[in-house]
Structure 1
């Protein structure tokens, strides 16, 4: 089990059922645990006006790895700059 006792955040800021499920299945099959959300901007993060950078900093402090889908161009690069890991 490659990632036994590791927690991965699955953060989908836009809907993508198949992509989310494929990542979460893969994580579980190699021994990891998954937390996260899947919705279209209806998270409390979006409603409170929290920036993507702020969200990534907070969420990444809870987990060992981060999987994200976001509509903003450059979001993955931004997430890598602001993650705590």
Structure 2
């Protein structure tokens, strides 16, 4: 993944985290912080292709969980 793209994703996740901090529980905050940390590690130390794909999948899963919580989709279902 391109370093600039990673940097943009990291900055976006940090802005969302800061904006929605009061709405998230501890588990969601830990998962979001973990995703940010993982992306920062990937940016700083390029991994092998398999490791990079695993890290990207984990980050996407964290983002999906965050979006689900932030939008309260489960309350509507």
The normalised TM-score by structure 2 is 0.34
Bigger Rg, structure 1 or 2? 2
Larger helix share, 1 or 2: 2
Larger strand share, 1 or 2: 1
